[in-house]
Chains A and B, each alone.
Chain A
């Protein structure tokens, strides 16, 4: 079964129709998860990242609460990264001169033999040579 690690930018980008790429990605993947053909994963801090993006992107708090509740029901498995795994993530973040958060998503995708799906062009440009990453 194919595994995809989804970045917060992809999910929020779908919800807030921020990019056609994010919309097409989620429109394609969620039905595939529903049919049991693929699985979606994310690091455990994913929930906070999505919530924070909603918090600052939506002025109506009721919209944000609804979005968060709906998001929490999605079939995305949150995976906790252990402290010993942090060294590798930190090392990559220094090497790429990027945030630890992005590298954690990417690390998780590699760990699970999956693909990291991101809408972040800057990170993609810096990390595409590492493989296991796709810009949506």
Chain B
């Protein structure tokens, strides 16, 4: 499953992108770059900040539900 999005790039970055990959590879290149930015090469400080920021965006789930869902995976 994937989502189609529109992004804006500066002329310079766009030109560098075109110089780096073919038209057909742009989507994968951007997707890989975003994933790398989200998951890799983070300092511990950045990783912790990202984790704390994310918490505020997620829904609240009661502890009994969480524990039940953890155990659900164990059966």
In whole angstroms, what is the CA distance A73 to B39 when docked?
Answer: 6
Chain A, 1-35, CB within 8 A of any chain B CB: 8-9, 12-19, 22, 27, 30-31, 33-34
B38 touches A63 (CB 8 A): no
A38 within 8 A of B: no
Q: Which of A50-58, A77-85, A109-117, A125-133 contacts B (4 or more CB under 8 A)?
A: A50-58
The smallest C-beta distance from B71 to any residue of chain A, in angstroms, reads: 7
Q: In the complex, which residues of chain B have a beta carbon less than 8 angstroms from the beta carbon of A57?
A: 61, 65-66, 69
By DSSP majority rule, is chain B's interface helix, strand, loop, or mixed?
helix
The smallest C-beta distance from B27 to any residue of chain A, in angstroms, reads: 18
In whole angstroms, what is the CA distance A22 to B45 when docked?
Answer: 20
In whole angstroms, what is the CA distance A20 to B67 when docked?
Answer: 15
A67 within 8 A of B: yes
Chain B, 26-75, CB within 8 A of any chain A CB: 35, 38-39, 42, 44-45, 47-48, 50-52, 54-55, 57-63, 65-67, 69-74
B58 touches A16 (CB 8 A): yes
> With A34-B48, A73-B42 in contact, is A52–B55 under 8 Å at CB?
no
A30 touches B48 (CB 8 A): yes
B66 touches A12 (CB 8 A): yes
A96 within 8 A of B: no
> With A9-B70, A52-B69, A56-B72 in contact, is A73–B63 under 8 Å at CB?
no
| A35-56 interface bits toward B, Cβ cutoff 8 Å, 1 = contact, 0 = none | 0000000000000110011011
Known: A19-B63, A56-B72. 15 other contacts (CB 8 A): A16-B60, A17-B61, A30-B52, A33-B44, A34-B44, A34-B45, A52-B73, A57-B69, A58-B58, A58-B61, A63-B57, A69-B39, A73-B42, A73-B50, A74-B47
The smallest C-beta distance from B16 to any residue of chain A, in angstroms, reads: 26
The smallest C-beta distance from A82 to any residue of chain B, in angstroms, reads: 20
Shortest 9 CB-CB distances between A and B: which pairs? Answer: A52-B73, A73-B47, A56-B69, A18-B63, A16-B61, A19-B63, A30-B48, A53-B70, A17-B60
